Structure 1
Amino acid sequence: MNTVRFSMSLIYRQLRYWLDCLLLKWVPSSLPTMQLGPDGSSQNPTMVQFFTWDARHPDMSWWKHLATEAPHLAALGFTQIWLPPPNKAMEQTGRGYDAYDLWDLGEFDQKGSVSTRWGTKEDLLRACDAARQCDMNVIIDAVLNHKLGADRVEAFRAVRVDPLNRLRDIENERPVKGWTAFDFPGRIGKYSSMRWNFNHFTGLDWDELAQANGVFRISSERHKGWSRWVDTENGNYDYLLGIDIDHRHPEVRDDLFSWGSWILDTTGACGFRLDAIKHMDRKFLFEFIKRTRDHPDRKRLFAVSEYWSANLQLIIPYIRAFHGQTSFFDVPLHENFHRASKAGASYDLRTIFKGSLVKLRPGDAVTFVDNHDTQVGQSLESWVDTNFKAQAYALILLRCYGYPCVFYGDLYPNNECFDEGTSRTLKQLLLARKLFAYGPMVDYFEHRNCIGFVRMGDSNHAGCVVVLSNDPLLDPATSKVRMNVGPCQGATFHSLFDSTRTVAVDHDGWGVFPSSADCVEVWIKSEGRQ
């Protein structure tokens, strides 16, 4: 009986998945309507996440570091910079995800300092200006799900719920005390006069009265409980951490809508990275994006959402719900990269895009290899090891599908996750994306441990040939891929990494392109060598 029930459930899920995929045909792709780089540029757009979890600079503020690096980032081919949350955190060293005051960008003496972890407001604005001077846009990391670091305790009533099923009460409603009063005494009402209290929240994780941890749903005649329009994990995933914001409250909505326009006007940013959207009322978030975009200069506002799941079936309903208003990070592809790095030569490279967003909806996929949350020791740890890091970057940077995001931790020296070989190869792959990776693409995914693809080029770019393997001990006879680069009249291609390595192409455009000892090779047409 259990076997039959399981089989029926599996069939239902598969049918639902097919139906969701069918309905996606009527949903417009998001990325083609968004600004990904300077207007009028034909250069491949590329984003950089300019921070790690513990990012610090020994000699200057982080914002000054960004301003200093802007010309170098532009030279590497970046067109957008994803900034860490610029708002005041609950403590001076907070990254901003522990959001205290969104309206304080390092301007007011609050939580022990004027500056944020990243620097002062003046530093931030100079960094944004430096990026624009180098034809790069900036992206604001918007933390709209919760607040932390309240100024006062308030008394109210709440119900403790099961952390694994937030729809199940495990205690009766009772009096509690919570850190829910946000007065922002250092800002004194500048930019926004709103002062937050328990009526603006749905839940919390600490009862000061009982000195007890837990997940508590705030209850009163004004409270509507958890939002229905959130992810169904744990029964209802409205609550994530800290003091959970009620996005249905009129005062909350007005304040956050105003902040969205204000932060873009203040910094000159072109869009948002939206944090933790599976925990937020998606009707509010949909309206937030639309309202912020409802401005003559912001019609092409960029938005990318973090819905953290490696299960593509769970992401699809969100793509439908937002109807082209936001792109999504391709977490399933990242998970494939992570598994490939763990499995080594036993991983079948021909399946690397299986179940990924970029395969199903390339016009909605922001691809990435790693980020601050996937670092070793972090809550979503799933680090892609160095044995597959270069291959993963080649697969997001040199292909024609998706919009790639490069992680600071892989590019710049740091004490958390830096690998010199990865950084060196990554810079060369960025150069290849900027100069060569254009035009139609043809895949040659024929061997489980060695795959290749060709970018045919366009009227301004010559194109390139890419070969990847995941077995450094692969027999040289099988670490080659025969590919066609189009009619070339017997041209010669050379390695981007070692110009002494060459491949001859016959008059019909066929050549046998080998991988390298580093398992990544990019081949470029040699000028003057026919």
Structure 2
Amino acid sequence: MNILKSLFSSPPAPLSYMKLGPDGSKDNPLMIQFFTWESQVTETSWWKHFENEIPTLAEMGFTQVWLPPPNKAAHPEGRGYDAYDLWDLGEFDQKGSIATRWGSKEEFLSACRVAKEHQVDIIIDAVLNHKLGADRVEEVKVIPVDPQNRLKALGPRQEIEGWTIFDFPGRGNKYSSMRWNQEYFTGLDWDQKTQTKGVFKIVGKGHKGWSKNVDKELGNYDYLLGVDIDHRHPEVQRDFFSWGSWIIETTGAVGFRLDAIKHIDRGFTLRFLQSTRKSTNSRMFSVAEYWSGNINSVLPYTRAFKGETAFFDVPLHMNFHHASQHYSRYDLRTLMDNSLVKIKPGHAVTFVDNHDTVIPYISQNEASADSFLLVQVEGQSLESWVGDHFKIQAYAVILLRGTGYPCVFYGDLYPNTECFNENIARNLELLVKARKLYAYGGTQDYPSTKNCIGFVRMGDSTHSGCAVILSNREDDYVHSIRMNVGRSHAESTFQSYLTTDGRVEIDAEGWGEFTCFAGSAQVWVKLES
């Protein structure tokens, strides 16, 4: 019977067992993405800036921080997504500098130590799909393919000069002795001999073509950018598995954000997670970026990874984006439809915006080489910024409802040159505080009308709960929804939390008439005597 049960039982939902916050804490866990695409500060490094902010983040209730890729990039200002050397955390003189854009290895590890002292977990952004910034070219046999259909050849086999040799002259053999060449790649996008850009599939002895265990977009989406890694190669796997354990042990990080997994062989990614979790921590955290607003594309990936990773809820983000585009024409009662958090809440890391959704708004003149390359590749799929007029409503949904694991974007909370709105930041800080103090217990929904919905968190033995109303009307209307906050709050008074002048009297059965101005959000909490 036990054997049969194990054969047919589903693996546990990732968020049910992975580490999300301090052991033993009963406070709600919360993640922040601590960077934007253009992140920089004057007079200090980004790592030092982060270290200085850790006490404040901990006090606010953040339990995990997703940091930008710490590895050496292809050029000094690279963000790390243009991955040159994963083993160089700002330690070696390579690609024009010792430090990365974010700072030195010493500064990075110092920030990690301070975070641990404040019980704030570090999440490493793992860029495992590709490499850029090769040290030398070599002759590579390729077949040019259609960028819009990578299964369609555009010409015969030919020989090009490809930037595929990575010597790591500054690092030498420290940490890893592996040297990369064309043997370990499946494709590239530049012929140095003819100065031609394209998508070139590497062929010849030992090469297996594109991996079949990737997304089927564009025929086969194994190739994304730069020099694409062949994750089926045993030596590639050994180096990555070793790096996974090393980066966790070196930094004390709790886990990974996995970049661009739709382009990486699924079998490799699963084994990478299993291997690293086995060698480090069984509760290792992982969240994968599979960028698709189509829930039917996301769900097969959640099954394929057998509970080893959570996923960013891109379908919910796209709902937020569409709601902000359509204003009062959008039916708020459908806001959660076809989202990961509704269908598989134990797999869903929810978010409103991130560094990718900001990228299309960077001009070509301002963009670095790697950022503009990403715009060209992902382009339209990432043009999904949530408008300011709906931003707080969206954050109220992910921060105050009872399902999913929310991630706040640095760009919405901290002053920056890309997307900062002072009013949004002020209200977002209040919502973060409300999550920490009030948003506990079961969730009861009140889908009142097309343009106004509400929900109540019923609270628990130590938290009083809250009532929330969202609106997307575009006039001066004042909404009202009758909601029940529970008999334990009978004959009490609730006060508005995002403003200071509202009061609601709760009757003997726990009912109250809660209000919200059109085009805004309001949170109501119990007035303590």
TM-score category (smaller protein): over 0.9
1:448 to 447, 450, 453: 450
1:517, distance to aligned residue in structure 2 (A): 5.8
CA contact (8 A) 2:473 2:518 kept: no
Alpha carbons 1:456, 1:464 under 8 Å: kept: yes
Check conservation: 2:331, 2:451, Cα contact below 8 A. Answer: yes
* Alignment partner, residue 111 of structure 2: 127
- 2:227 corresponds to 1:240: no
What residue in structure 2 maps to residue 381 of structure 1?
Answer: 383
Partner of 1:4: none
- Counterpart CA distance in 1 for 2:72 and 2:107 is 14
1 CA distance for matches of 2:221 and 2:350?
25
Q: 302-311 or 27-36: which moved more?
A: 27-36
Over the matched positions of the two proteins, sequence identity in percent amounts to: 60
Does the 8 Å contact 1:24/1:320 carry over to 2?
A: no
User: Is the Cα–Cα contact under 8 Å of residues 85 and 142 in structure 1 kept in the other structure?
Assistant: yes
Q: 1-side partners of 2:461 and 2:269: how far apart? A: 41
2:473 to 461, 471, 474: 471
After superposition, residues 36-435 of structure 1 pair within 5 angstroms as 36-295=20-279, 297-375=280-358, 376-377=361-362, 379=379, 380-435=382-437
Aligned 1:483-502 pairs, distance under 5 A: 483-487=483-487, 488-502=489-503
2:464 aligned partner: 462
SS in 2 for 1:336: helix
Which residue identity does 1:526 align to in structure 2?
Answer: L
Distance of 1:320 and 1:195 partners within structure 2 = 35
Q: CA deviation at 1:527?
A: 1.6
The alpha carbon displacement at 1:500 in A equals 2.7
What SS is found at the alignment partner of 1:178? strand
Task: Give 1:414 shift.
Answer: 0.3
Instruction: Decide whether the 8 Å contact of 2:69 with 2:79 is kept in 1.
Output: yes
The equivalent of 1:507 in structure 2 is 508
Is the partner of 1:374 in helix, strand or coil? helix
1:475: Cα distance to partner?
A: 2.7
Q: Please report how far the alpha carbon of residue 120 of structure 1 lies from its aligned counterpart in structure 2 after TM superposition.
A: 0.1
- How far 1:27 moved relative to its partner? 4.8
Query: What secondary structure is seen at the aligned counterpart in 2 of 1:239?
Result: coil
Amino acid at match of 1:358: V
The aligned amino acid for 1:463 is G
**For residue 446 of structure 1, what is the amino acid of its counterpart?**
S
| Worse-superposed segment, 498-507 or 359-368 | 498-507
How big is the shift at 1:472? 4.3
Structure 1 runs not aligned, ≥5 long: 1-22
Once residues 298 and 11 of structure 2 are traced to their aligned partners in structure 1, the CA distance between those partners, rounded to angstroms, is 14
Could you give the per-residue CA deviations for residues 1-37 of structure 1, whole angstroms, max 9, x where no partner exists? xxxxxxxxxxxxxxxxxxxxxx998353111110001
Shift of 1:474: 5.0
Q: 2: distance between equivalents of 1:518 and 1:221?
A: 62
User: Secondary structure, in 3 states, of the residue corresponding to 1:240?
Assistant: coil
The 2-side partners of 1:103 and 1:408 are apart by 26
- Alpha-carbon displacement from aligned partner over 1:474-508 (angstroms, at most 9, x marks no partner): 532xx111100111231110011233310011100
Instruction: Give the TM-score normalised by the residue count of structure 1.
Output: 0.93
- Paired residue type of 2:494: F
8 Å contact kept, 1:441–1:455: yes
* 1:214 counterpart SS class: strand
Q: Judging changes above 3 Å, is the alpha-carbon distance between structure 1 residues 189 and 368 closer, same or farther for their aligned structure 2 residues?
A: same
Question: Partners in 2 of 1:219 and 1:497 — Cα distance?
Answer: 60
Partners of 2:277 and 2:513 lie apart in 1 by 49
Deviations 1:213-272 (A, max 9, x none): 110011111101111100111111000000000001111110000000000000000000
Match of 1:6 in 2: none
Deviation at 1:394, TM superposition (A): 0.2
Q: Distance in 2 between matches of 1:79 and 1:472?
A: 36
TM-score, structure 2 length as denominator?
0.94
| Corresponding pairs, count | 503
SS of 2:356 mapped into structure 1: coil
**Is this contact kept in 1: 2:215–2:221, CA < 8 A?**
yes
